[in-house]
Amino acid sequence: MGTFEGHFLDGVAFAVFGLWWTANLICGYWRTVTVSGSVYTSSVTFPCPCLCQSLRSWQTEGALKIVISIVSAVTEILCAIRNGEFVYFGNAQHATMIGFFFLSGVVDLLLHYKLPLPRDIDYVILTLAFCIEAFLLNFHLHDRTPMDAQLHTFLIYAVYACIVATLLELYFRSNILAALCRSNFTLLQGTWLIQMGFVLYNPFPGSVPWNEHDHDQLMLVTTMFAWHMAGIVILTLAIWMGFYLYHRSLNLVDDVTEDRMLWETQKLGYAEIEVEGSDESDLDRPA
């Protein structure tokens, strides 16, 4: 991954999955509470409605995890070989991280075909993949410049956040905020990997390289990480409002339903959402 292409392509993969999860979580939430009137429950993977009818039942997301992981891991291994010898052991760490996401894709497929696996094993394996990623990245910082180490440290923070968010989602399956944290921090991993590629290996000809020991530029990198988080929050709010306006235009959201959902999104834990046959006086709101 020690090239612009390596950081950029891996970043795009994380960003696509993070954005895909975010859109599907929000869409599924609004559809559940407005159309079916039932309790929302999150999931690790989602079907792809953009495919033709005969392919919609496929576990597309798990298959993509497997294909992307294989291509990425093989590329890491091949790029580490020089004159028949394996010389870049950092690539072995990268390939190992990728291997656990490959395992997550395999579990997704096995669950899709209803093999007798333990309940919530998909969440457990995804959490394990994030844990291995954080563990290996933590010992991936030796002999790096201050800026390089800082960039990777911020990436580790995002991975830690993914671990916590995935565990929260596992225990609070009906809480949309826990699920959105998992998708948003995955998206943050992706955008930050892309940013790292531009900072460390700027591909544009004639570009001025960063001074990786300059204090002011280190402070700028810190600020940029906060900008990434702010941008992802703004994007998530925009997607949320887009689906809200869409359902509102279909007259699927009335004032009572809207008020109830706003209250439900603030609660942790399992909550029963009653959409029909209630009025605002039924709600038990905090003072």
Can you give the pLDDT at residue 200?
92
> pLDDT averaged over the chain?
84
Higher-pLDDT residue of 39, 166: 166
Q: Lowest-confidence range among 7-11, 110-114, 127-131, 277-281? A: 277-281
Can you give the pLDDT at residue 252?
60
CA gap 24, 201 in Å, rounded:
33
How does pLDDT run across 216-273, given as a tens digit for each residue? 999 999 999 999 999 999 999 999 999 888 877 776 655 545 545 554 544 544 443 3
How does pLDDT run across 200-213, given as a tens digit for each residue? 998 888 888 899 89
Can you give the pLDDT at residue 48?
76
CA gap 19, 26 in Å, rounded:
11
In this prediction, residue 23 has a pLDDT band, given cuts at 50, 70 and 90, of very high
Can you give the pLDDT at residue 163?
97
The number of C-alpha atoms within 13 Å of 151 and in the hemisphere containing its C-beta is 24
In this prediction, residue 197 has a pLDDT band, given cuts at 50, 70 and 90, of very high
Residue 104, class by beta-carbon neighbours within 10 Å (0-12 exposed, 13-18 middle, 19+ buried)? Answer: buried
CB-based contacts of 207: which residues, under 8 Å, 6+ apart?
none
DSSP string, 181-206: HHHHHHHHHHHHHHHHHHHHS--STT
In this prediction, residue 287 has a pLDDT band, given cuts at 50, 70 and 90, of very low
Provide the CA 217 distance to its chain's centre, in angstroms. 28
Higher-pLDDT residue of 168, 1: 168
